[in-house]
């Protein structure tokens, strides 16, 4: 059973190019697909859905493309709020979200506050996120506490962005790319990986079902012999 699903949402640009559309059109289609994925996750009994929406490296993209993406973040938080309230979805974010424009932060903060008591599904959106940055930020928190005692892995987790959310059981990457792209480097240590050639704007309940079927056929040992 998948309790926590993480997805690297990839392929918006290629999806658009193959249809003679702009990259912005691809990002808009990808943003709309978040709601589709959320409803599919709820139907599958998944409790946590972490989506890689904007990385720390994505700030290097052309300014007009970044502006479109930031606008889509605000639009998503506003337009999807009624659906999240209806479906019992709680919204959260991870990453260096202070780097986001004020409009995006304000829309997100409002949606996060409004949905904080919902408990059917938690959508955790990674924004201005990098796995290495998360680990560095955790180390800097520890340094700021002026700790002198050694710290173990169990304690270290408490300094990550979302220590109360369990590690992902399954990571799906769309568009066929075979890399982690600096996503949840700590949390994915024992996650199962599934890659689909489907572009993110085409991700649907059937795509998720294929990934979950693959997951269900695997034995998870976590470095041991008996665990499943």
Could you tell me if 2 and 169 are in contact, meaning their C-beta atoms sit under 8 angstroms apart? yes
pLDDT of 220: 78
What strand order describes the sheet that includes 4-8? 89-94, 121-129, 48-55, 4-8, 170-173, 192-195
Mapped onto helix, strand or coil, the DSSP state of residue 99 is helix
For the question of residue 10 being annotated catalytic, the response is yes
| DSSP type of residue 223 | T
Q: Is 58 a catalytic residue?
A: yes
- Round to the nearest angstrom and report the end-to-end CA distance of the chain: 10
CA–CA separation, 49 vs 217, rounded Å?
21
Looking at residue 224, its pLDDT comes to: 66
> How many CB atoms neighbour CB 137 within 10 A?
15
pLDDT of the chain along its 228 residues, tens only?
999 999 999 999 999 999 999 999 999 999 999 999 999 999 999 999 999 999 999 999 999 999 999 999 999 999 999 999 999 999 999 999 999 999 999 999 999 999 999 999 999 999 999 999 999 999 999 999 998 899 999 999 999 999 999 999 999 999 999 999 999 999 999 999 999 999 999 999 999 999 999 999 998 777 765 544
Note the Cα 100 to chain centre separation in Å: 16
- Provide the pLDDT for residue 227: 47
pLDDT of residue 106: 98
Alpha-carbon gap, residue 150 to 103, rounded angstroms: 41
Q: Where are the domains of the chain?
A: 4-216
With H, G, I as helix, E, B as strand and everything else as coil, classify residue 169.
coil
CATH number of 4-216: 3.40.1180.10
How far is 107 from 75, CA to CA, in rounded Å?
8
3-state secondary structure of 158: helix
Catalytic residue among 3, 58, 118, 182: 58
pTM confidence score: 0.95
């Amino acid at each position: 059973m998948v309790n926590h699903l993480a997805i690297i949402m990839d392929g918006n640009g290629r999806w658009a190019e193959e249809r003679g559309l702009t990259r912005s059109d691809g990002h808009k289609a990808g943003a709309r697909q978040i709601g589709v994925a959320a409803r599919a996750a709820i139907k599958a009994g998944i409790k946590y859905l972490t989506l890689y929406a904007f990385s720390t490296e994505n700030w290097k993209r052309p300014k007009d493309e970044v502006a479109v993406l930031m606008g889509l973040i605000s639009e998503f938080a506003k337009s999807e709020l009624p659906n999240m309230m209806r479906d019992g979805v709680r919204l959260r974010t991870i990453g260096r979200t202070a780097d986001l424009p004020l409009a995006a932060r304000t829309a997100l903060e409002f949606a996060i506050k409004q949905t904080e008591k919902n408990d059917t599904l938690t959508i955790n959106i990674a924004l201005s996120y990098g796995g290495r940055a998360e680990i560095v930020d955790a180390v800097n928190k520890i340094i700021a506490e002026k700790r002198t005692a050694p710290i173990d892995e169990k304690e270290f987790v408490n300094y990550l962005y979302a220590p109360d959310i369990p590690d992902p059981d399954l990571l799906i990457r769309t568009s066929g790319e075979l890399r982690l792209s600096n996503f949840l480097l700590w949390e994915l240590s024992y996650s199962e990986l599934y890659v689909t050639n489907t572009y993110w704007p085409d991700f649907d309940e059937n795509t998720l079902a294929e990934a979950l079927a693959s997951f269900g056929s695997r034995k998870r040992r976590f470095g041991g012999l008996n665990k499943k």
